[in-house]
Amino acid sequence: MKILVTCKRVLDPYIKARVKPDGSGVNLDNVKMAMNPFDEIAVEEAIRLKEAGSASEVISVSIGGAKCEETLRTSLAMGADRAIHVVTDEDVEPLALAKVLQKLVEEEAPGLVIMGKQSIDGDSNQVGQMLAALLGWAQGTNISEVQLGDGEATVTREIDGGLETLKLKTPAVLTADLRLNEPRYASLPNIMKAKKKPLEKKPLEDMGVDTAPRQVTTQVSEPAARAAGIKVADVAELVAKLKNAQVI
Amino acid sequence: MSILIIAEHDNASLKAATLNTVSAAQKIGGDIDILIAGTDCGGAAEAAAKLPGVRSVKLADSAEYGHQLAENVAPLVVTIAADYSHVLAPATTDGKNLIPRVAALLDVMAVSDISDVIDADTFERPIYAGNIMSVVKSSDAKKIITVRTTKFPACAEEGGSASIDAVAATGDAGLSSFVSQDLTQSDRPELTSAKIVVSGGRGMQNGENFALLDAVAEKLNAAVGASRAAVDAGFVPNDYQVGQTGKVVAPDLYIAVGISGAIQHLAGMKDSKVIVAINNDEEAPIFQVADYGLVMDLFDALPQLKDALD
């Protein structure tokens, strides 16, 4: 069974996002970029399933500009077998991303697609569910555990009230939450090996997918910072302040 | 305009998130209907019919909707969505699981987690963990939306008398089935709707020490939350997590104890009205957003705080 995983290139999660001086968008020039942390967890899970003998091949996919190749090489260094880079300089919306992935799924016929539950830039949390809908597959979102069976997967999901366990018919789309695993660091020999692994480039316009945007961003801004507060000397002063503020 | 709200409920009653979503719908304007999809969910439907300003309640009461499986509920929403210009659900784990599936089936780009309504086509939403606010205008004929509940007030629970109309069930898609759930039992108020939240971080050192927070929370009738570090370390279950990828809260008072204040945590609580930080590291970033900062060992501060609240 093949597993398809996605790797989005995003602003490094430890760097604070800033609006460009002209207000036209988020500044991504000359800032450190990284693989979306939830996608890293997805890649790790796919590799672990392969190491456990449940999968035969792990294919990583990234959709975006030329530098997505670096992100895909990271996934190959972690242990993915080969990569597909759908090349575009456009900002592709979640629905269109799902349609591109649908095409790749139809070509590659994986038994499982594993993605991050959301990307930490757009925070949309949509692509996995949309891909499952387009394919008519089951979806396991926000998963913290997966066990593969015969034609089915049992997944534990992190939900608002705690945990939920579902049985899904496979093939299925799974989206990774934080506690699914702790992604490995690529070793130097594996980073060298990854340079020789196959990486196929496909221009977005050759995919036969309508990627025309449905939404236009009319404004981006940084929210007003909270005014600096005060330090209190002890618990008694804290309680007095809170009573004064009428919050207790 | 006409708006369909997918209610969050436990079959017997409505969850608070539904009330916030009604307020968001009122801000868009137009007729508001509420879909209750569930099993033996007449109680939730009756509660929805009492909400002010609701035109009608669509009741889909059938076995396949009992656990809100997206594979089963999405086709139901699609069958009735034709009559509506907007479909809204709260941005809870259920809403976020369902809405994109509905949107893709309708060939619509969903708008996630809206924090404000500018007009019927234009919405504000946080990106980059709330460090950036964006305004997006949708050109889709139908708007499919999840609502950040902390950004809209809860509507009143009484005052309306909507009709309840049964909707034909769409059957089990046969793709997924419910096995079990492990819900955290607590006598404390729900994290996302509590007026006061007391949260602990890595500084709590272990799960047993959360009893110190519970004692303070009990005095304040507060909910108890946690940072990602505390959840990852196994001190408390995942549903305690406040932050970018956990729950977003905006209580009147948020007390952060032993929490350093990573960007991802601040994303989940910085809209709280009053923030208190208790931490023995005076350089902790949490103090930059705190209205009242107390530099003190939490193991001294928490018992003193509990006694002071007696």
Q: Is residue A231 within 8 angstroms of chain B, CB to CB? A: yes
pLDDT at B187 > cutoff 90: no
Mark yes or no for CB contact B101/A137 under 8 Å: no
Q: What is the mean pLDDT of residues A151-165?
A: 96
The mean of the pLDDT values for chain B is 96
pLDDT at B310 > cutoff 80: yes
Mark yes or no for CB contact B292/A230 under 8 Å: yes
Q: What pLDDT, on a 0 to 100 scale, did the predictor assign at position B185?
A: 87
pLDDT tier for residue B279 given thresholds of 50, 70 and 90: very high
* Min Cα separation B216/chain A (Å): 12
Q: What pLDDT, on a 0 to 100 scale, did the predictor assign at position B193?
A: 87
Return all residues near A42 (Cβ < 8 A) that are at least 6 apart.
Answer: A5, A6, A114, A115, A116, A174, A175, A176, A180
pLDDT tier for residue A224 given thresholds of 50, 70 and 90: confident
Residues in A 89-118 with any Cβ partner in B closer than 8 A: 93-95, 98, 117-118
Q: What is the mean pLDDT of residues A116-124?
A: 97
Entry pTM: 0.96
pLDDT tier for residue B104 given thresholds of 50, 70 and 90: very high
Q: What is the mean pLDDT of residues A128-136?
A: 98
Task: List, for residues A11-53, the tens digit of each pLDDT value.
Answer: 998 898 999 988 889 999 999 999 999 999 999 999 999 999 9
Kindly report the backbone phi and psi dihedral angles of residue A243, in degrees, each rounded to the nearest multiple of 5, phi listed first. Answer: -65, -40
Amino acid sitting at position B259: I
Residues of chain A neighbouring B179 (CB-CB closer than 8 A): 154, 165-167
Q: Which residue of B has its CA nearest to A239?
A: B308
Q: Using an 8 Å Cβ cutoff, are B155 and B88 in contact?
A: no
pLDDT at B306 > cutoff 90: yes
Q: What pLDDT, on a 0 to 100 scale, did the predictor assign at position A115?
A: 98
Q: What pLDDT, on a 0 to 100 scale, did the predictor assign at position B278?
A: 98
Q: Which residue of B has its CA nearest to A234?
A: B294
Total residue length of chain A: 248
Q: What is the mean pLDDT of residues B211-224?
A: 97
Task: List, for residues A52-75, the tens digit of each pLDDT value.
Answer: 999 999 999 999 999 999 999 999
pLDDT tier for residue B103 given thresholds of 50, 70 and 90: very high
* Min Cα separation A186/chain B (Å): 22
Task: List, for residues B13-67, the tens digit of each pLDDT value.
Answer: 999 999 999 999 999 999 999 999 999 999 999 999 999 999 999 999 999 999 9
> Checking phi first, is residue B165 left (phi over 0); if not, alpha (psi -120 to 50) or beta?
beta
Q: Is residue B212 within 8 angstroms of chain A, CB to CB? A: no
| CB-defined contacts A:B, below 8 A | 256
Q: Which residue of B has its CA nearest to A127?
A: B100
Give the CA-trace dihedral at B116, B117, B123, B124, to 10 degrees. Answer: -20
pLDDT at B97 > cutoff 90: yes
Order of all β-strands in the sheet with A230-232: A230-232, B292-295, B274-279, B253-257, B196-200, B223-226
Beta strands in chain A (DSSP E): 2-6, 9-11, 33-35, 57-64, 82-87, 112-116, 138-148, 152-159, 162-169, 172-176, 199-203, 215-221, 230-232
Q: Using an 8 Å Cβ cutoff, are B11 and B67 in contact?
A: no
Burial of B283 (C-beta count, 10 Å sphere; 0-12/13-18/19+): exposed
| Four-residue CA torsion sign, A12, A15, A21, A24 | positive
The mean of the pLDDT values for chain A is 96
Q: Is residue B263 within 8 angstroms of chain A, CB to CB? A: yes
pLDDT at A228 > cutoff 80: no
pLDDT at A226 > cutoff 90: no
Which segment, A20-34, B100-114, B179-193, is predicted with the most confidence on average?
Answer: B100-114
* Min Cα separation A73/chain B (Å): 25
Q: Is residue B70 within 8 angstroms of chain A, CB to CB? A: yes
Residues of chain B neighbouring A215 (CB-CB closer than 8 A): 109, 111, 136-140
Residues of chain B neighbouring A160 (CB-CB closer than 8 A): 92-94, 192, 239, 247
Task: List, for residues B227-249, the tens digit of each pLDDT value.
Answer: 999 999 999 999 999 998 889 99
Q: Is residue A212 within 8 angstroms of chain B, CB to CB? A: no
Q: Which residue of A has its CA nearest to B71?
A: A138
Nearest beta carbon to residue B101 from set A14, A133, A178: A133
Q: What pLDDT, on a 0 to 100 scale, did the predictor assign at position A134?
A: 98
